[in-house]
Amino acid sequence: MEKILIAVPTSQRHEYVLDDFLRHIRSLTHPNIHLLLYDNTLDNGEYYEKLVEKTPEKWIKIKRHEWNPDFQTPTQMLAHVREKMRHYFLVNDFTHYFDVASDFILPESIVERLIAHQKDVVGCVTHIFQNKDKMPAIIKWNGSMDNSGFITNENGLDLMSWKEVSKQKGLVRVWGCGVSLIQRKVLKKCQFRTHPTFFYGEDLWFFTEVNENNFEWWCDMDMKIEHRNTDWNGIPNPHRQGIFFAIGPQKAKGIEFRTGVKKEVV
């Protein structure tokens, strides 16, 4: 029997959707799911206590990350939190890691559906940004490592367009996408990390390392997930860290910066 860890970084910024998120998590039909909520709110622990009150079930675990924005940007913080969740996954006997944020609304049969695809990593159609700027959270696979996943200041992310998404059906090979189910063998080899001069999301390094290790990332184009996202207003200004260079990642192997979590051998 599969054992699924739903790994969710969260903060008070998502409080407006928390009750709906938990209601849908409780409605999931897979019989062996476990939820790990990792709070990174910049407060004195009040939101952590609220999370504990709202989740008395034994299959839900709440942890707290003490984030100091004077030393970590939001992307560095999220990489650090996700690496902690990866460690928790590896030292326990989970078979699949479900990477989700706390502002996604999950269909009740999503876990069974993604497992049935039997892929190294498989995700769903959802979006990034807001309103008229919404874009599919799907980075294209262009047939090889040399042609996929590259980012520059000139071109930005190589994202699918909504027109491209509308033409796709079933499983499609991608470089990376959101709301993804990850097999244990992938998490053993690939970590969550970032770089102090890279401003984009920490997930891009993970996408790159997955592909460099010859794992395949797929997207179920028929499964569209609601993302009730907010903007990042109110998050401490990351530019206090200095000048950022938004180029990369071409090759994750060339990046030596670690998140600060000791790498465990499991």
Query: Mind listing the pLDDT tens digit for each residue in 71-97?
Result: 788 888 899 999 999 999 999 999 999
CB-CB neighbours of 58 under 10 Å: 7
SS3 call for 239: helix
Q: Say if residue 135 is exposed, middle or buried (CB neighbours under 10 Å; 0-12, 13-18, 19+).
A: middle
Rg (CA), the chain: 18
Cα dihedral 219, 110, 106, 137 in deg (nearest 10): 0
Is the pLDDT confidence value at 196 over 80? Answer: no
8 A C-beta contact, residue 217 and residue 211: yes
pLDDT of residue 245: 41
Mean pLDDT of the chain: 85
CA atoms of 121 and 219, how far apart (whole Å): 8
Query: Mind listing the pLDDT tens digit for each residue in 221-255?
Result: 999 999 997 654 545 544 444 434 444 555 555 44
The answer to whether residue 260 sits within a structural domain is no
The answer to whether residue 266 sits within a structural domain is no
Task: Using a pLDDT cut of 90, give the percent of the chain over it.
Answer: 62
The answer to whether residue 42 sits within a structural domain is yes
Cα dihedral 204, 45, 226, 83 in deg (nearest 10): 30
8 A C-beta contact, residue 266 and residue 189: no
Task: Using a pLDDT cut of 70, give the percent of the chain over it.
Answer: 81
Show the tokens assigned to 87: 């460690």
The answer to whether residue 261 sits within a structural domain is no
The answer to whether residue 46 sits within a structural domain is yes
Is the pLDDT confidence value at 130 over 60? Answer: yes
pLDDT of residue 54: 97
| Between residues 31 and 266, the one the model is more confident about | 31
pLDDT band at 145 (very low <50, low <70, confident <90, very high): confident
Is the pLDDT confidence value at 257 over 70? Answer: no
Show the tokens assigned to 65: 């990350």
**Could you tell me the CATH number of the domain that includes residue 104?**
3.90.550.10
Is the pLDDT confidence value at 35 over 50? Answer: yes
The answer to whether residue 23 sits within a structural domain is yes
Please report, for residues 64, 118, 185, the alpha-carbon distance to residue 213 in angstroms, rounded to integers and kept in the order given: 31, 18, 11
Is the pLDDT confidence value at 199 over 70? Answer: no
According to DSSP, the residues that pair with 175 across neighbouring strands are none
The answer to whether residue 118 sits within a structural domain is yes
Domain tally for the chain? 1
187-204 exposure pattern, b = at least 16 Cβ within 10 A, e = fewer: beebbbbbbeebbbbbbb
The answer to whether residue 263 sits within a structural domain is no
Is the pLDDT confidence value at 264 over 80? Answer: no
By residue range, what is the domain housing residue 115?
Answer: 4-254
